[in-house]
């Protein structure tokens, strides 16, 4: 039995919409004993001290003392919803993943949207990428598509991730956000500028979570039963249409309604206006990957949709709000390493680093048994010899042998879900093969700048220069050559802004 008081009226939108004076039986302690009084502690006489033997008081305070778990080290502020994914176009010739096996097939999903850098109480409208994480509860276990609302990322080696994130967090001394840290880092890691340009365009402040696309960003593999594969990038295109906030609108909302996107998603679903996304893939072969001008395993690069257009696969609909935020959203644990047969990682270095990092952080944030939590546990039973650990619930394998191989039978290996032969992606000698910065790294940012309308270019220049202006002159000077290398007009406009606004340049 669990604490199910809110289930009393499924039509109640919030806890304060429940019927008044509902009676759900006797109030109990955590151990199920009736509570005599929930208002008055037990004391020795009217003026006497509180007694140690008042278990209800001790338990209530001690339980309260432990209400918070560590927040996510990134993507701490977010909102989530349940829904489904439905296959609309057949791609069974590309993958043996059972949830993709036929048109019309539906798979339950849980999706969480988030900002990245801020703490769990921070504003939804911050200039930041948005997380776009989808858990597919398939018949072969869970597939987590842990993406963002941007098709690319800032860095291309996982070794840089903790440093990059530190620049987005708070100054170690002042505990304030520090733009010197951000612009110092970006001027020294110019491959980040492609994503930085998206960040400082109006796409850096989407109008809520419903009006943005989602991307796997990384290249993944779709694998067939015979082990052959194609590379794919996943795109979730919003059917609500793209809507962004201007910097001014976002700043205003940060003050007036910091929970803007959380509220917008919740209320839309509550009133039956269920947001949906059309899910598509870009498909290319291993030979294509080797021929491309850009390395498709470098997540600072897009794969051109001109060369590799989108192929529709299905749609995702979000139609049910969580019943309890903590249980379903805060405890949700997505990991790029949760994959099903038929979906596999590419050699993308960042993705490879992520395959380790997420489950590792979950074991820290939620504990070794995080996969037993209802929001994370797969649809079908888990069968293995993993046992025990803190907060182990369920039968823990009951009386079944806790070792393997054994002579008692039990769960059997599935050799037919063979791993792909990755030999073809691996060559050369072990080493630290650095991706050197080349002219190619500036081509896509240049194309992006030139694709923007005059108004969008102006917003980008104002937003990015407005931020650079707050960094020390040395970092302003260091970033400008990179911006000019992207596009000399772009760099010069930023420079003119800095000079005009007496930024110290
Ligand atoms: C969350 C690490 C790159 C998307 C997280 C978390 C960690 C992390 C530790 C917190 C997870 C939790 O506590 O539940 C990393 C590392 C990266 C990386 C080490 C690079 C090496 C990326 C990229 C994307 C991304 C490239 C998108 C394409 C997300 C999302 C979440 C997240 C959406 C939030 C998941 C949720 O809603 O619970 N990341 N990350 N991350 N990351 Fe990354």
Alpha carbon distance 19, 96 (integer Å): 49
Contact indicator for 112, 78 with CB cutoff of 8 Å: yes
CA distance 101 to 104: 9
d(CA 206, CA 264): 12
- Compute, in angstroms, the gap from residue 336 CA to the centroid of ligand 1: 9
Say what the pTM is.
0.95
Q: What is the pLDDT of residue 502?
A: 85
Return left, alpha or beta for 106; rule: phi > 0 is left, psi -120 to 50 is alpha, else beta. beta
Quick one: average pLDDT of 452-472? Answer: 97
Tokens coding 91: 């791609």
Range of lowest pLDDT (120-129, 196-205, 403-412, 453-462): 403-412
* Cα distance between the two ends of the chain: 65
- Mean pLDDT, residues 329-334 taken together: 98
- Which has the closest alpha carbon to 206: 268, 147, 278, 127? 127
| pLDDT confidence of residue 227 | 87
Residue 22 is predicted with a pLDDT of: 83
- Is residue 38 packed enough to be buried (19+ CB in 10 Å), middle (13-18) or exposed (0-12)? exposed
Mutate to test the pocket of ligand 1, among 82, 146, 154 (most ligand atoms within 8 A of CB): 146
Residues with CB under 6 A from ligand 1: 72-75, 78, 112, 114, 131-133, 146-148, 153, 158, 161, 217, 299, 332-334, 350, 353-354, 357-358, 361-362, 365
Beta strands in 239-350 (DSSP E): 276-284, 311-320, 343-345
Bridge partner list, 82? 110, 320
- Residue 381 is predicted with a pLDDT of 87
Residue 422 pLDDT: 58
Whether 350 contacts 125, CB under 8 Å: no
**3-class DSSP string for 183-251:** HHHHHHCHHHHHHHHHHHCHHHCECCCCCCCEECCCCEEEECCCCCEEEEEEEEEECCCCCECCHHHHH
Quick one: which of 234, 219, 217, 246 has its CA closest to 130?
217
Round to whole Å and give the CA distance between 61 and 135: 35
Question: Could you report the per-residue pLDDT of 433-448, keeping only the tens digit for each?
Answer: 999 999 999 999 999 9
pLDDT cut 70: percent of the chain above it: 96
Q: Which atom of ligand 1 is nearest to the CA of 72?
A: 13
Question: What is the pLDDT confidence band of residue 423, given thresholds at 50, 70 and 90?
Answer: low
Alpha carbon distances (Å) from 340 to 142, 179, 503: 7, 41, 52
Report the complex ipTM: 0.97
Largest Cα span, the chain? 85
* For residue 223, pLDDT beyond 50: yes
307: left (phi over 0), alpha (psi -120 to 50) or beta: alpha
Q: How far is CA 65 from CA 3, 48, 60, 390, in A?
A: 18, 25, 9, 18
Instruction: Give the integer Cα–Cα distance in Å for 263 and 13.
Output: 12
* 321 is an active site residue: no
Of the pLDDT bands very low, low, confident and very high (cuts 50, 70, 90), residue 311 is very high
37-51, 79-93, 414-428: lowest mean pLDDT where? Answer: 414-428
Q: Which of 8-22, 142-156, 329-343, 428-442 has the lowest mean pLDDT?
A: 8-22
pLDDT for 231-247, tens place per residue?
Answer: 999 999 999 999 999 99
Atom index in ligand 1 nearest the CA of residue 218 equals 28
The yes-or-no answer on residue 75 being catalytic is: yes
- State CA 420 to chain mean position distance: 26
What pLDDT does residue 6 have? 46
pLDDT tens track for 8-32: 566 778 888 888 888 889 999 988 9
Query: Does residue 151 have a cis peptide bond before it, meaning omega lies within 30 degrees of 0?
Result: no
Structure token digits, residue 458: 């102006």
d(CA 330, CA 72): 9
The rounded Å distance from CA 133 to ligand 1 centre is 9
H/E stretch holding 315 reads strand 311-320
Strands 106-114 and 343-345: unpaired
- If pLDDT is split at 50, 70 and 90, which confidence band does 3 have? low
Q: Whose CA is nearest to atom 32 of ligand 1?
A: 75
Q: Take residue 191 and report the two structure tokens written for it.
A: 């491959």
Q: Residues 233, 162, 166, 145: is their CA dihedral positive or negative? A: positive
CB half-sphere exposure, 500, CA atoms < 13 A: 9
Which pLDDT score is estimated for 396?
94
Q: How far apart are CA 467 and CA 504, in angstroms?
A: 13
Out of 75, 82, 194, 338, which one is annotated catalytic? 75
Vertex 28, ends 22 and 29: CA angle to 5°? 140
Distance CA 115, CA 148 (A): 10
Mean pLDDT score across all residues of the chain: 94
Tell me: pLDDT of 426 over 80. no
Distance in Å, CA 73 to ligand 1 centroid: 9
Tokens of 419: 């791993």
* Segment 55-66 mean pLDDT: 94
Q: Which atom of ligand 1 is nearest to the CA of 75?
A: 34
Give a three-class secondary structure readout of 405-470: CCCCCCCCCCCCCCCCCHHHHCCCCCCCCCCCCCCHHHHHHHHHHHHCCHHHHHHHHHHHHHHHCC
- In this prediction, residue 505 carries a pLDDT of 85
Instruction: From 385, 384, 367, select the one nearest 376 (Cα to Cα).
Output: 367
| Mean pLDDT in residue range 267-280 | 98
137 is in an annotated binding site: no
| Listed residue (373, 360, 319) closest to 80, CA to CA | 319
């Amino acid at each position: 039995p669990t604490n199910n008081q809110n289930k009393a009226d499924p039509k109640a939108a919030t806890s304060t919409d429940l019927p008044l004076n509902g009676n759900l039986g006797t109030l109990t302690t955590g151990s199920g004993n009736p509570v005599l009084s929930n208002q008055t502690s037990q004391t020795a006489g009217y003026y006497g001290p509180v007694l140690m033997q008042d278990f209800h008081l001790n338990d209530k305070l001690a339980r309260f003392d432990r209400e918070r778990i560590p927040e996510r080290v990134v993507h701490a502020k977010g909102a989530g919803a349940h829904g489904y994914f439905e296959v609309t176009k057949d791609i069974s010739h590309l993958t043996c993943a059972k949830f993709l096996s036929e048109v019309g097939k539906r798979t339950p999903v849980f999706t969480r949207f988030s900002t990245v850098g801020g703490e769990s109480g921070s504003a939804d409208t911050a200039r930041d990428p948005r997380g776009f994480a989808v858990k597919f509860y398939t018949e072969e276990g869970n597939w987590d598509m842990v993406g963002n609302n941007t098709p690319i990322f800032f860095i291309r080696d996982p070794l840089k991730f903790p440093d990059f994130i530190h620049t987005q967090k708070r100054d170690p001394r002042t505990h304030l956000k520090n733009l010197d840290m951000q612009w110092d880092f970006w001027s020294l890691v110019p491959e980040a500028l492609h994503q930085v340009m998206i960040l400082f365009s109006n796409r850096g402040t989407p109008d809520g979570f419903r009006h943005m696309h989602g991307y796997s960003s990384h290249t993944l593999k779709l694998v067939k039963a015979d082990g052959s594969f194609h590379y794919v990038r996943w795109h979730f295109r919003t059917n609500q249409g793209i809507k962004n906030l201007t910097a001014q609108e976002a700043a205003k909302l940060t003050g007036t309604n910091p929970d803007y996107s959380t509220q917008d998603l919740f209320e839309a679903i509550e009133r039956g206006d269920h947001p949906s996304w059309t899910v598509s893939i870009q498909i290319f072969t291993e030979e294509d990957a080797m021929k491309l001008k850009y390395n498709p395993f470098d997540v600072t690069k897009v794969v051109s949709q001109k060369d590799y257009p989108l192929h529709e696969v299905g749609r995702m609909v979000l139609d049910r709000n969580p019943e309890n935020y903590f249980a379903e959203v805060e405890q949700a644990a997505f990991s790029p390493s949760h994959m099903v047969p038929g979906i596999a990682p590419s050699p993308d270095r960042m993705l490879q680093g992520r395959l380790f990092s997420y489950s590792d952080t979950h074991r820290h944030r939620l504990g070794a048994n995080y996969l037993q939590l209802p929001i994370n546990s797969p649809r079908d039973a888990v069968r293995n010899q993993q046992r025990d650990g803190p907060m182990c619930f369920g039968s823990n394998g009951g009386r079944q042998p806790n070792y393997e191989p054994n002579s008692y039978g039990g769960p059997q290996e599935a050799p037919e879900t063979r791993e792909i032969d990755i030999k073809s992606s691996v060559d050369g000698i072990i080493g630290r093969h650095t991706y050197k910065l080349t002219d190619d790294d500036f081509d896509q940012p240049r194309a992006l700048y030139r694709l923007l309308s005059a108004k969008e270019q102006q917003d980008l220049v104002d937003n990015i220069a407005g931020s650079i202006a707050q960094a020390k002159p040395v970092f302003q000077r260091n970033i400008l050559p990179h911006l000019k290398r992207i596009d000399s007009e772009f760099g010069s406009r930023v420079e003119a802004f800095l000079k005009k606004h007496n930024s110290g340049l």
